[in-house]
């Protein structure tokens, strides 16, 4: 074994000490963000959080006021056309050019001086991939929103970029189309093995698309990690509110036995299947949709749900098709998402007692440091 | 009323009589203003592109300057060009005064701001995100410019037509720097002034009708461009 050969590869794309200032106002202030080769990284945040600006900086479309961008460990700049041509992007609006679908998809290839026969082969192959086989000669301006966005994705993928930028590509779609396209896009990206940056304000979309998520707020990266951790174990109150949860609970592991950790949490006992050494101080959380509520005096069904806590309802908030119920037991606060029917059946209202039931496998947990 | 009817009858007779007097003047008018429009486009379009695309401090003032220049009085421009080209002027050695070239110079100065001003608005209307998209697909600066001009081509053509329309019908500058010399620098507008002074209404009307015809064609084209199609449906 040759030790000197063991050198970890630099990240495919990396930004260091990035600051973007518009008219004296700092809109992006990010110490470091790095994308490993082939991974899809989602930047999640509310509008105006600086996500798209950071995307433009990483995509060499905008010069930051400070900081630098590196591709495979080497610094690159916005005027570097060779570096820029390793990137392709899909934005909110597809902005198709007048002409046929093929004319649009081949645009980047024409810029690179590719011969027309070769272009036709590449265009045909990429249209197959995005589910638009044989659409070459259709007029681009007669397409529906979903079709146009697929053409935009094809136009980017046909370039075989080493870095793909996706700036809220599904935000103008209706919810149904958005769901199906996000699943499709995720599969296409996974198949393309391309390093991708996906900007969105939709946590469900981020969860479907991304290998890793970074949450941005006021220009800063406030949380980063795999989707399960970021969305399931919110690091602070703001992130929790953003992803529709209560902030993570804090506790200490008091026993660990047979794959089950017992955690003392402000006077309550919670079980988790995450194994950590006894004595570890931990953060833990449970997604609202993993919690089931019963009436306080109900006979609970026997089952695998290990956690059964007597709770008091603090707040009941309708949310789309379901109701988000904030619950408290001593210093412990978490939320449950129940159907509207269940909420009215249980007559949920602030002050009412209930029993919250959730599985030990539903409890996300990690060491506090 | 009779005086108009007689003038129009005379005009038609002159236009279709094959008289050697009318058509060379029309030809020179088109040559001078056409050349000036081409040069003004070469100067005004890059300015329009720059002002339409860039965002920088002082851009507003520059646009104001261009818009002001769009309304320069032709006689004043004629005066400045005359002084520059006169024997004691800075360009006196070129001996261009009272030549078609002098008329082209004056008309370029009048038309370039028109081309720049109208094309600035057209180019600025191309969405910034479209340019970002082009760049993000690997377009170089020049390739981006070509695509932006293609997308704003209606407005750019309107700018060129506005430039041409503005100079083909002006008389102040060309009469000062050209001098209305028969067979050399006489164009339609200066000829009209000359013939009216001599009471030759038929001849004046002939050129007037041709000028009106050209204005009609130019404005018709402009209106068509403005009405044709919608842009950026999505």
Q: Do A61 and B140 make contact, defined as CB atoms within 8 angstroms?
A: no
| CATH of residue B73 | 1.10.3720.10
What's the pLDDT tens digit per position in A107-136? 999 999 999 999 999 999 999 988 899 999
Smallest CA–CA separation between A152 and chain B, in Å? 10
Q: Specify the length of chain A in residues.
A: 369
Q: Across all residues in chain B, what is the average pLDDT?
A: 90
Residue B15 pLDDT > 90, yes or no?
no
DSSP B158-198: HHHHHHHHHHHT--HHHHHHH---TTTT--HHHHHHHHHHT
Please indicate, yes or no, if residue B133 is contained in any of the structural domains: yes
**pLDDT, position A5:** 44
Interface predicted TM-score (ipTM) of this complex, two decimals: 0.76
Please indicate, yes or no, if residue B115 is contained in any of the structural domains: yes
Q: Do A84 and B138 make contact, defined as CB atoms within 8 angstroms?
A: yes
Q: Do B234 and A145 make contact, defined as CB atoms within 8 angstroms?
A: yes
**pLDDT, position B66:** 94
Q: Do B132 and A91 make contact, defined as CB atoms within 8 angstroms?
A: yes
Tell which CATH classification among 1.10.260.40, 3.40.50.300, 3.40.190.10, 3.90.960.10 matches the domain A9-242.
3.40.50.300
Facing A93 at nearest CB: one of B129, B137, B138? B129
Question: Which has the higher per-residue pLDDT, B76 or B207?
Answer: B76
**pLDDT, position B3:** 82
CA dihedral A182, A186, A188, A190 (to 10 degrees): 180
Helix (H) or strand (E) holding A15: strand A13-22
Question: Which has the higher per-residue pLDDT, A8 or B169?
Answer: B169
- Beta strands A212-217 and A40-44 are parallel
The domain A249-367: what is its CATH number? 2.40.50.100
User: What does the pLDDT average to over A224-232?
Assistant: 88
Contacts of A36 (CB under 8 A, 6+ apart): A11, A12, A195
Domain boundaries, chain A: 9-242, 249-367
**pLDDT cut 70: percent of chain A above it:** 97
Please indicate, yes or no, if residue B39 is contained in any of the structural domains: yes
Facing B137 at nearest CB: one of A56, A81, A111? A111
Smallest CA–CA separation between A98 and chain B, in Å? 9
Q: Cα separation of B91 and B97, whole Å?
A: 10
User: What does the pLDDT average to over B42-58?
Assistant: 93
Q: How confident is the model at residue B91 (pLDDT cuts 50, 70, 90)?
A: very high
Q: How confident is the model at residue A242 (pLDDT cuts 50, 70, 90)?
A: confident
- Beta strands A195-200 and A163-167 are parallel
Contacts of B229 (CB under 8 A, 6+ apart): none
**pLDDT cut 90: percent of chain B above it:** 63
Q: How many domains does chain B have?
A: 1
**pLDDT, position B234:** 34
Chain A residues with CB under 8 Å of B154 CB are: none
Q: Across all residues in chain A, what is the average pLDDT?
A: 90
Please indicate, yes or no, if residue B137 is contained in any of the structural domains: yes
Q: Are A213 and A206 in contact (CB under 8 A)?
A: yes
Q: Which two tokens stand for residue B130?
A: 């479209």
Residue whose C-alpha is closest to residue A71's, from A36, A27, A122, A121:
A36
Q: Do B138 and A85 make contact, defined as CB atoms within 8 angstroms?
A: yes
Q: How confident is the model at residue A301 (pLDDT cuts 50, 70, 90)?
A: confident
What's the pLDDT tens digit per position in A178-191? 888 888 888 888 88
Q: Do A165 and B136 make contact, defined as CB atoms within 8 angstroms?
A: yes
Smallest CA–CA separation between B136 and chain A, in Å? 5
Please indicate, yes or no, if residue B59 is contained in any of the structural domains: yes
Please indicate, yes or no, if residue B4 is contained in any of the structural domains: no
**pLDDT cut 90: percent of chain A above it:** 64
Please indicate, yes or no, if residue B46 is contained in any of the structural domains: yes
Q: Cα separation of B178 and B96, whole Å?
A: 9
Bridge partners of A318, per DSSP, are: A323
**pLDDT, position A297:** 86
Q: Are B138 and A88 in contact (CB under 8 A)?
A: yes
Residue B228 pLDDT > 80, yes or no?
no
Nearest CA in chain B to A143: B234
Smallest CA–CA separation between B153 and chain A, in Å? 12
Structural domain for B74, as ranges: 29-187
User: What does the pLDDT average to over A138-160?
Assistant: 92
Contacts of A302 (CB under 8 A, 6+ apart): none
Q: Are A3 and A59 in contact (CB under 8 A)?
A: no
What's the pLDDT tens digit per position in A23-70? 899 999 999 999 999 999 999 999 889 999 999 999 999 999 999 999
Residue whose C-alpha is closest to residue A196's, from A53, A12, A9:
A12
Q: Do A111 and B233 make contact, defined as CB atoms within 8 angstroms?
A: no
């Amino acid at each position: 074994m040759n030790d000197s050969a063991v050198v970890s590869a630099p990240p495919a794309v990396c930004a260091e000490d990035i600051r973007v200032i518009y008219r004296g106002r700092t809109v992006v202030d990010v110490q470091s963000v790095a994308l490993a080769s082939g991974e899809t990284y989602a930047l999640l945040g509310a509008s105006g959080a600086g996500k798209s600006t950071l995307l433009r900086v990483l995509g060499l479309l905008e010069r930051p006021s400070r900081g630098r961008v590196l591709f495979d460990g080497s610094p690159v700049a916005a005027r570097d056309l060779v570096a820029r041509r390793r990137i392709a992007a899909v934005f909110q609006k597809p902005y198709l050019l007048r002409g046929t679908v093929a004319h649009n998809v081949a645009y980047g290839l024409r810029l690179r001086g590719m011969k027309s026969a070769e272009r036709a082969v590449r265009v045909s192959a990429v249209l197959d991939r995005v589910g638009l086989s044989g659409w070459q000669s259709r007029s681009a301006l007669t397409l529906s929103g979903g079709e146009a966005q697929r053409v935009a994705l094809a136009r980017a993928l046909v370039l075989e970029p080493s870095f793909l930028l996706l700036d809220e590509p599904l935000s103008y779609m209706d919810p149904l189309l958005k769901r199906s396209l996000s699943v499709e896009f995720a599969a296409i990206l996974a198949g393309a093995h391309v390093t991708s940056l996906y900007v969105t304000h939709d946590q469900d979309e981020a969860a479907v698309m991304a290998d890793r998520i970074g949450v941005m707020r006021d220009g800063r990266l406030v949380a980063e990690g795999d989707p399960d951790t970021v969305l399931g174990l919110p690091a602070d109150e703001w992130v929790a509110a953003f992803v529709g949860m209560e902030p993570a609970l804090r506790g200490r592991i008091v026993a660990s036995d047979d794959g089950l950790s017992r955690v003392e949490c402000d006077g309550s006992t919670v079980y988790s299947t995450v194994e950590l050494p006894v004595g570890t101080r931990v953060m833990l959380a449970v997604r609202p949709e993993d919690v089931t509520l019963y009436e306080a005096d109900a006979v609970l069904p026997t089952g695998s749900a290990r956690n059964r806590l007597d709770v008091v309802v603090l707040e009941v908030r309708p949310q789309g098709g379901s109701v988000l119920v904030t619950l408290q037991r001593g210093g412990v606060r978490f939320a449950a998402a129940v159907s509207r029917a269940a909420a009215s059946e249980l007559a949920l209202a602030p002050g009412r007692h209930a029993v919250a039931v959730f599985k030990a496998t539903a409890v996300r947990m990690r060491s506090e440091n | 009323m009779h005086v108009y009817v007689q003038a129009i009858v005379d005009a038609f007779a002159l236009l279709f009589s094959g008289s050697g007097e009318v058509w060379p003047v029309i030809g020179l008018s088109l040559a001078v203003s056409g050349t000036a429009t081409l040069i003004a486009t070469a100067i005004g379009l890059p300015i329009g592109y720059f002002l339409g695309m860039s965002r920088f401090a002082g851009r507003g003032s520059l646009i104001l300057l261009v818009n002001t220049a769009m309304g320069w009085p032709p006689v004043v421009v004629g005066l400045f060009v005359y002084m520059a080209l006169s024997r004691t002027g800075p360009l006196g050695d070129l001996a261009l005064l009272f030549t078609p070239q002098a008329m082209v110079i004056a008309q370029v100065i009048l038309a370039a701001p028109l081309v720049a001003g109208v094309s600035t608005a057209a180019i600025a209307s191309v969405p910034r995100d479209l340019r970002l998209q082009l760049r993000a697909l690997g377009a170089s600066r020049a390739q981006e410019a070509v695509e932006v001009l293609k997308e704003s081509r209606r407005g750019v053509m309107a700018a060129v037509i506005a430039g041409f329309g503005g100079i083909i019908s002006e008389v102040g500058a060309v009469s000062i720097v050209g001098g209305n010399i028969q067979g050399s620098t006489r164009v339609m507008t200066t000829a009209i002034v000359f013939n009216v002074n001599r009471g030759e209404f038929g001849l004046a009307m002939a050129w007037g009708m041709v000028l009106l015809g050209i204005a009609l064609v130019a404005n018709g084209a402009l209106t068509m461009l403005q009405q044709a199609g919608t842009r950026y449906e999505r």
